[in-house]
A and B are shown apart, each in its own frame.
Chain A
C-alpha cells in the first residue's frame, strides 16, 4: 500500500493550476512567434538561406569522402575492415547463398535449387503446423503456392530467407539484451537511447554507410534488416519481463527463489506471450526492411518493386507488392497464432509498435495490423498432444517425400510456367491504371495544384526563404513554448547538427513537406478516427483497410502515387499520407473510444448535438491520443518523405539517394542522412514533450 503512495506525485494538488496557466499562455505566445517570423521573412527574404546547390559540397562532405576512400583502401589489409568486418560479410554472404541454393537459386550445376517448389511448399506448411497449428499451416500453403502463381517464386523465397535469417539473429541478440535491460537499470539506461536513435533514424540514412562497410548484397541486407528489426524485439522483451506483476514476483520471492529461478521459471514463462509478440513485430519490421534493402542489392521482392518504380510499372508493383503483403499476412498470422498457442498467458499488454523508421514506447499493441484478431478471441481447444505428434510425424514423411519428388521431376522443381499468371495480372492492372490515370488526370492535377500552390509553396517559401538566423530561433522558441526546456535542449543540439551538415536549406524543404503531409494526415486521421471511434460499424469497415495499408512496404506506395501525380513533391506527400494515416487514425479512434462512457452519457443527458459531442466532449478528452497520433504521424511521414526523394521529392531524400549512386556525392548523402536523423529526433522530441506537457486535459 505504502509503496503505491510513493508512486504518486508529491505535490498533487499544487501542480495542475500552474500547468493550466501555462497552457493558457501557449496560444498567444505561438501567435507572437509566428508574427515575428513572418515579419522577419518579409524583410529579410532570401538572405542567408544557406542554399547549397546539388553539386556543391562542403568540407565536411569532402572529409567523409576521404574517409570513405581510406576505408575502401584499407579494406584490403586493415585488421578490422578486412579481418573482422570482412569475415562477417563473407559469412553472411555465404550463409544466404547456401540457403538460397537450397531453396531458391539454382544449385549449380543443377539448373534448379536443391529443393524444388513442391518441397519448399510442403516443408513450410509443416513448419507452420509445428509452430502455429492447422489453420496457419493452411494459410502458409496457400500463400507459398501464390508465390508461384504470381510469378514471383524465387524472389518471394529470397525475401523470406533474408527476413528469417535477420529474425533469427535478432532473437539471438535481442532476447538476452531485452532480458538484461529488464533486470538491470544501468543496461536499460545505456541501451535505450541507442534504440531510440536506431528507431528515429530513417532506414534510408544508414543504407549507404552499411553498403560501404559490408559491401552490397546479402550481407548488407541482413545487417540493415537487423538494425531495423532489433529494437522492437528488445523493447517488447524488456517490457514483457518488466510487466510480470509485482505481486507475482513478491510471491515468488517469499518462496525463496534465486534470481535465476525467478527468470527461468517465473519471468520468462509469464512474459512468453509478450516476447512472441515481440518476435512478431521484429518479423514484420524485418520484412519491411528486407524490401528497402533492395537498394543495397538485397535479393528478393524489393528488387522487383524497385524495378517497377523505375519503369513506372503499376502492374508490376501491384503484383510484387501483393506478394509482399501476403508474406506479411502469413508471417503475422503465424507468429500471432504461435503466441496464442504459448497459452496460459497473463493478459499481456504491449507498449511498443514497430513502424518503419519510427517507434514510440507508449503506443499500444492494438494499433498494429492484427490480421489474426478474430480467431484469437475465443480460446479454442487445442488438439491433444498425441494427435499433434502423430500429425507432425506423418507430416514429416510427407515432407520428405515431397522433397524427394521435387528433386526428381523438373515440373515439381521449378514452378510451372503454365501456372504463372504474374504477367497477366500485371498487364491487366497496368491497363486499368493507364485508363484510370487518364480519366483522373484533370482531377488529380487540380488536387495537386491546390495543395502545392495553396499549402506547400507558401510554407516552403516561408521556411526555405527565411534567413537561417531567423528560422533557427523561431524553431527553438516554438520548441520551448510547446515542449518546454527539454524540447528546447534537444532542438538546440539537433539544429547545431543540421547546421553542421551544411544542408540547412534542404532540411527546411524536407521539413516543409513533412509538415504539410502531417497536417493532411491528421485531417484524414481525425475524420476517419472519429467516425471509427463513434461507430462500431465504421470501425469494422475501415480497420481492415488500414491494416492492409500498414502491411504494404513503404515504397510500394510510390508507384501508383507516381503514376497519378508525376514526379513532384506532392507525390512524396501523397505516399507519406498513405503511409502515415493508418497508425494516426487508429490512435485517434482508440482515443475517442477511450472517452469514459459515463461522461458521454452525462453529456447526452444534457441534450447536446452530435457535433457538439464530438467537438466539446470527445475530441478534447481524447487530446492525449491526438497528440500521440500527431507524433507518430510526423515520424511516419518523415520517413516516407525521405523515400519520396526517389520520385521527385527532392531535398534530403534525393541527396541520400544520390549519395548512393554518385561517388563524389557519398559524403553529401551521408550528411543528408545525419540531417534527416537530427530532424527526426527534433520533431519527435518536440512532439513527445508537448504531449507530456499538454496531454492531460
Chain B
C-alpha cells in the first residue's frame, strides 16, 4: 500500500537514462546574509521562527527531485508555499541560495551569464501567470520576440511564429495587440511564445490562475493536446489540486518551502503523506483518480483463475461499469499476473464515500 515518495517513477514513453531536469537540495532564503544560515542549526527552524530570529524569509527548503524527459511534472502548493520561487530558481530568474539544478545534463547553478542566457534562449521557456506580453508589439511580434533576441533572421522567425500561431489556435489574430485579446487568448500568445523557441523544457507558473473557470478548462485541455503533439517535458506550477491531478504525471506538493510529498496522482490521493495532504485531497473525487490497485483486495483462494479481468492501473471510474456488470469479483492484473480482486463493494465504497462528502 505504501507509495514510494522519494524515487521518481518514469511514466512517460519508456525513456531511460538522464533525467531532463535534476534538482538537488535546492535552497532559497531571502534576506541579508541568508547564505550563512544553511548548514547551521537555524536551517532546521520553521519559517516563522527563522524570520523572527534572523529576519530572513525561507522560501525553498532543501528541495530535491528529478523530472524525466517527456514527463509533466506538477508542483503544487498554496500561495506562499514557495512553488513560484522554486520554479524561478530553476532558470535562476531568482538566484538560489544553494543547491544544484541540472538541466539536460547541463549545470544551471554554475553557468555564467552568457551560458545562462543561451540556456534561457534555447533550452527552457516559461509561461507566466500574468502573461508578461509586450503591449507595444503585435501578437506575431510577441511570439517571435524570443527568436528575435537570440538573433534568428527575420524570415525564419516569422515563419516559426506563424506556425506557433496556428498551433495554439490564434490564426487571424496575428496583427492584434495584446490588450485587444481576452485573457485566455493572451495566454495562448504566452504559450506560443514559449513554444516558439522549441525548448527542451516548458515551465508554467500558474498559467491559468488568472482565467475564468471555463477558459481555464479549455486551456488545460490545450496543454494536454500540445503535450501529446510536441511531447515536451513540462514543469507546471499550480495551486489548484484538480488541475494538478488532471495534468500531472507526477505531483510535488509543497508547504512552507518544503516538499511534503512527490508521487503520481493516485499515490497522492490514495496514500497522502501526512494530514496536510490528506486534508488537501479530501474533496477530490477519488473515483476519478484512484486506480484499481488502490481499491482491490487480495485474492481469496480459488477466485483468481477465471472471470473478467482488468489492469491494475485502470481508474476506478472507468472500471466501475465492468465491475458492476460482472457477476462476481473481477480479477486485477499487473501485466499477466493476478495481483488482487475487486467486487461491487470495493467500487461502491469509493464512489459512495464521495457522495457523502460532497
Q: What residues of chain A have their CB less than 8 Å away from a CB belonging to chain B? A: 1-3, 5-6, 10, 245, 247-248, 250-258, 261, 265-266, 269-270, 272, 343-346
Contact = CB atoms under 8 A, between A and B. Distances in A.
A256 B119 contact: yes
Chain B interface, >50% SS class: mixed
B79 A1 contact: yes
A256 B131 CA distance: 16
Interface of B: 30-31, 51, 55, 57, 59, 79-80, 82-85, 88, 91, 93-94, 116-122, 124-126, 128-137, 145-146, 148-150, 177, 179, 190, 193, 197, 203
19 contacts: A1-B79, A3-B30, A3-B85, A3-B94, A5-B80, A6-B31, A247-B128, A247-B130, A248-B133, A250-B128, A252-B132, A255-B150, A255-B193, A256-B118, A256-B122, A257-B117, A265-B145, A265-B148, A344-B177
A255 B126 CA distance: 8
Contacts of B120: 253-256
A250 B146 CA distance: 13
Top 6 A-B pairs, shortest CB-CB distance: A251-B132, A256-B120, A256-B121, A255-B146, A254-B126, A2-B59
A257 B93 CA distance: 12
Given A1-B80, A2-B82, A3-B30, A251 B133 contact: yes
A661 B119 CA distance: 68
A1 B84 contact: yes
Contacts of B119: 256
A254 B133 contact: no
B84 A2 contact: yes
Nearest to A254: B126
A227 B63 CA distance: 55
A254 B120 CA distance: 6
B175 to A, nearest CB: 12
B149 A257 contact: yes
Given A5-B80, A256-B118, A344 B136 contact: yes
B30 A2 contact: yes
Contact of A346 (B79, B94, B135): B135
Given A2-B80, A254-B93, A344-B177, A270 B117 contact: no
Contacts of A254: 91, 93, 120, 124-126, 128, 203
Contacts of A344: 135-137, 177, 179
B271 to A, nearest CB: 28
A280 to B, nearest CB: 19
Contacts of A343: 136
A269 B177 CA distance: 14
A613 B308 CA distance: 78
Contacts of B131: 247, 251
Given A245-B130, A265-B134, A344-B136, 6 more contacts: A1-B80, A5-B80, A247-B130, A254-B203, A256-B121, A256-B122
B104 to A, nearest CB: 15
Contacts of B135: 270, 344-346
A265 B197 CA distance: 18
A652 B118 CA distance: 63
Nearest to A270: B136
Contact of A248 (B134, B148, B150, B197): B134
B134 A270 contact: yes
A343 B137 CA distance: 10
A265 B149 contact: yes
Contacts of A261: 149
Nearest to A257: B149
Nearest to B206: A1
Contacts of B57: 2, 5-6
A258 B117 contact: yes
A251 B149 contact: no
A345 B149 contact: no
